[in-house]
Amino acid sequence: MAEVEETLRRIQSQKGVQGIVIVNSEGIPIKTTLDNSSTVQYAGLIHQLVMKARSTVRDIDPQNDLTFLRIRSKKNEIMIAPDKDYFLIVIQNPSD
């Protein structure tokens, strides 16, 4: 338990990280470092995307599974690591 907390703290202190959101399998955010409205927005939108991505990967080969998803945009990069019941979102500004 403490290990997870520490890992999250380390991620938060990395260069360029803007926020972390932990979302459960129903799309409800559990833990976040962003403000409420952004959190809800990120959780809802990304939840759908992750479901779609995972279903795509698994439809092609059911033995395969999604490991992580990276969305790089002009302003920042959204990284998503899904798990069976949760997924973690980190928004980072890659060092430029």
Partner 1 sequence: MPMPNNTTAASTRKQKGAGAKSTKAASRKKDEEEGVEMVDGLDEAPVKPKDQLELSEAELKEEITRILTANNPFAPQNIVRYSFKERSYKSTSVVDQMAVHFVLEGNLLHQDSDEARRLRAKEGLFEETTVVDAEAEPEEEEPETPATPVEDGGDMEETGEDDRPDSVASKTDKKEPKLTNQFNFSERASQTLNNSLRDRCCQTEPPPRVTFSDTANQWKTYDMYEMETEKQEKNKDKQNATPKKENDNSKKKMMLIETQSDTITKVLKPAKILERMCNQNICDDIAQDFKYFEDVSDEFRDQKGTLLPLWKFHYEKAKLSVTALCWNKKYQDLFAVGMGSYDFSKQGHGMLVFYSLKNSAFPEYIYPTSSGILCLDIHELHSHLVAVGFYDGCVAVYNLKEEGQEPVYKSTAKTGKHTDPVWQVQWQNDDMDNNHNFYSVSSDGRVVSWTLVKNELVFTDIIRLSLNGAVSEGPEAVHEPIVVGGTSFDFHKHIDYLFLVGTEVGQIYKCSKAYSTQFLETYEAHSMAVDAVKWNHFHPKVFISCSSDWTIKIWDHTINSPMFTFDLNSAVGDFAWSPYSSTVFAAVTTDRTVHVFDLSVNKDQALCQQTVVSKKKTKLTHIDFNPVYPIIIVGDDQSCVTSLKLSPNLRRTPKGKKRQELPKGPETEVAKMEQLLRLLREPDPTTV
Q: Which residues bind partner 1 (CB under 8 A)?
A: 1, 3-5, 7-8, 10-11, 14-17, 22, 30-31, 55, 58-59, 62-63, 67-68, 70, 77, 79, 81-88, 90, 92, 94-95
44-75 b/e with 16+ CB inside 10 Å = b? eebbeebeebbeeeeeeeeeeebeebeeeeee
Q: How far is the CB of 80 from partner 1 (least distance, A)?
A: 8
Q: How far is the CB of 48 from partner 1 (least distance, A)?
A: 13
Q: How far is the CB of 20 from partner 1 (least distance, A)?
A: 8
Whole-number Cα distances in Å, 39 to 19, 31, 59: 9, 9, 29
User: Smaller CB distance to partner 1: residue 15 or 36?
Assistant: 15
User: Smaller CB distance to partner 1: residue 44 or 68?
Assistant: 68
CB 63 within 8 A of CB 57: no
Q: How far is the CB of 41 from partner 1 (least distance, A)?
A: 20
Which residue in 27, 57, 53 sits closest to 41, CA to CA? 27
